[in-house]
């Protein structure tokens, strides 16, 4: 795909650095995702940690996608307000944060809210709550989840049921698929799903139905689409790619080239300095474009010869080939992040584009988190 800078009427008035989201391209990406799903909006549980804006969440809902997945209680609240009917908080919670989720479940009784557990002692915290529980499986990433041990999974499902709570299914995030060689990625992903399917069979033998299995962020999404085992077993298999809503440098390399995906979220930056021959600096450090995916943190649209280097907080040094002219100070640059999800989270507001023109700004509604205290003790 040729990555060329967009022509946006009104962009000259934007103060940089700025997050710019093109809603028309968002729509293109939503259509591409639904095509890969065969038009089955019920199979997509998008991870909204990427979308972040209530405006964009509503746009997803308007395409018939009623279920979602989130990482924080603030994302959960925003998703409920946006109109999703079924939302999983896919991150372990305890203590005051768990109490907040219970309150949100009471505040949005028309939304089916669910949470994750990985051990028996986590079940009691949800007793009496208007919350269903998924069992979180450790897919091999060793971040969260119970190992794929059938006896432990069956015992957890029984514990959920015995506590008077609804067992919603199994959650298995296989984001490490991005580290597989392309030639073996599908085989490795499918081998993991075979192991999850064996757990579904063991639960069935124990008299426990598995209503849903959730897998596949963006890296595993194409391979999840070719797996038929869950549907053959009568279990709903949902996938949860979220990056596909906006896309970034890495996702456009991972997704099928002919799917029609395009970058919908860019960072508009400006050249601020010429520190030396062969290098200039832009106002897009790691407080603007996330550096968690490594260096380069982005690419410059229309300038494949520019090489972004290690950023600092506000500065992004960029090298140019020997003998090449440096762009003028103040010149605008359109940057495609390597990892869009935390980049979106760096901004309080996004510039909204539609029809090739700036339409205004919208808050990045679910950025950050709720305040850490409900009230100051003793106040």
DSSP tally for the chain: helices H, then strands E: 10, 16
How does strand 316-319 pair with strand 279-282?
A: antiparallel
Pair of tokens at residue 283? 């106002």
Q: Is residue 30 part of a domain?
A: yes
Per-residue pLDDT of the chain (379 residues; tens, 9 = 90+): 678 999 999 999 999 999 999 999 999 999 999 999 999 999 999 999 999 999 999 999 999 999 999 999 999 999 999 999 999 999 999 999 999 999 999 999 999 999 999 999 999 999 999 999 999 999 888 899 999 999 999 999 999 999 999 999 999 999 887 777 877 888 889 999 999 999 999 999 999 999 999 999 998 999 998 898 998 888 999 999 999 999 999 999 999 999 999 999 999 999 999 999 999 999 999 999 999 999 999 999 999 999 999 999 999 999 999 999 999 999 999 999 999 999 999 999 999 999 999 999 999 999 999 999 987 666 6
For residue 328, with 0-12 CB atoms within 10 Å meaning exposed, 13-18 middle and 19 or more buried, which class applies?
exposed
Alpha carbon 295 to chain centroid distance? 20
Cα–Cα distance between 253 and 250 in angstroms, integer?
Answer: 5
State the Cα–Cα distance between residues 65 and 82, nearest whole angstrom: 12
The b/e string for 80-110 (b: 16+ C-beta within 10 A; e otherwise) is bebebebbbbbbbbeeebbebbbebbeebee
Whether residue 131 lies inside any domain: the answer is yes
In a domain, 92, yes or no: yes
Place of tokens 């279990």: 235
222 exposed, middle or buried (CB, 10 Å; 0-12, 13-18, 19+)?
buried
In this prediction, residue 185 carries a pLDDT of: 85
Q: Can you read off the two tokens belonging to residue 87?
A: 């939302």
Number of domains in the chain: 1
| Distance in angstroms (rounded) separating the CA atoms of residues 24 and 52 | 17
Supply the pTM of this predicted model. 0.96
- Residue 218: the pLDDT is 92
pLDDT for the residue 335:
98
Three-class secondary structure of residue 354 per DSSP:
strand
Q: What is the chain's Cα-based Rg? A: 22
Closest to 46 measured CA to CA, from 77, 111, 90: 90
pLDDT for res 217: 92
Structural domain includes residue 364: no
- Strand, coil or helix: what is 177? helix
In a domain, 171, yes or no: yes
**What one-character DSSP code corresponds to residue 16?**
S
Indicate whether 238 belongs to any domain.
Answer: yes
In a domain, 226, yes or no: yes
- pLDDT of 53 reads 98
pLDDT at 130: 96
CA–CA distance, 375 with 379 (Å, rounded to integer) = 7
CA atoms in the 13 A half-sphere facing the CB of 368: 10
Instruction: Report the C-alpha gap between 195 and 156 in whole angstroms.
Output: 17
Strand partners, 267: 19, 335
Residue among 174, 220, 228, 168 nearest 197 (CA): 228
CA–CA separation, 264 vs 20, rounded Å? 8
The SS3 of residue 294 is coil
Within-domain flag for 15: no
Looking at residue 1, what is its pLDDT? 65
Residue 207 sits in a domain whose CATH number is: 3.20.20.10
Q: What is the bridge-based pairing of β-strands 86-89 and 316-319?
A: unpaired
Amino acid 183: pLDDT = 72
Element (H, E) at 227: none
The parent domain of residue 125 ranges over 26-245
* Interatomic CA distance for residues 118 and 122, integer angstroms: 7
């Amino acid at each position: 795909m040729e990555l060329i800078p967009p022509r946006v009427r009104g962009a000259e008035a934007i103060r940089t650095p700025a997050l710019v989201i093109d809603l028309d391209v968002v729509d293109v990406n939503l259509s591409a995702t639904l095509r890969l799903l065969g038009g089955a909006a019920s199979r997509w549980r998008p991870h909204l940690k990427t979308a972040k804006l209530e405006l964009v969440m509503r746009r997803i809902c308007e395409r018939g996608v009623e279920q979602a997945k989130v990482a924080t209680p603030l994302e959960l609240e925003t998703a409920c307000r946006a109109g999703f009917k079924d939302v999983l908080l896919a991150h372990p919670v305890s203590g005051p944060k768990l109490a907040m989720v219970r309150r949100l479940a009471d505040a949005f009784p028309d939304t089916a809210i669910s949470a994750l557990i990985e051990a028996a002692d986590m079940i009691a915290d949800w007793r009496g709550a208007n919350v269903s529980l998924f069992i979180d499986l450790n897919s091999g990433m060793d971040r969260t989840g119970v190992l794929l041990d059938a006896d432990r999974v069956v015992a957890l499902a029984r514990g959920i049921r015995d506590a008077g709570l609804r067992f919603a299914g199994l959650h298995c995030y296989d984001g490490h698929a991005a580290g597989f060689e392309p030639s073996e990625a599908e085989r490795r992903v499918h081998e993991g799903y075979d192991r999850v399917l064996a757990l579904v069979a063991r639960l069935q033998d124990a008299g426990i139905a598995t209503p849903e299995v959730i897998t596949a962020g963006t890296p595993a999404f194409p391979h999840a689409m070719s797996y038929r085992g869950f549907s053959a077993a009568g279990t709903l298999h949902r996938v949860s790619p979220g990056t596909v809503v906006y896309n970034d440098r890495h996702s456009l390399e991972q997704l099928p080239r002919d799917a029609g995906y395009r970058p919908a979220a860019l960072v508009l930056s400006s050249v601020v300095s010429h520190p030396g021959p062969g290098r200039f600096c832009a106002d897009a450090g790691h407080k603007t474009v996330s550096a968690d995916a490594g260096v380069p943190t982005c690419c410059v649209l229309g300038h494949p010869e520019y090489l972004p280097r290690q950023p600092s907080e506000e500065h992004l040094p960029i090298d140019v080939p020997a003998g090449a002219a440096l762009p003028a100070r103040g010149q605008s640059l359109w940057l495609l992040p390597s990892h869009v999800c935390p980049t979106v989270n760096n901004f309080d507001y996004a510039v909204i584009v539609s029809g090739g023109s700036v339409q205004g700004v919208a808050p990045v509604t679910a950025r950050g988190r709720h305040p850490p205290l409900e009230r100051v003790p003793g106040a």
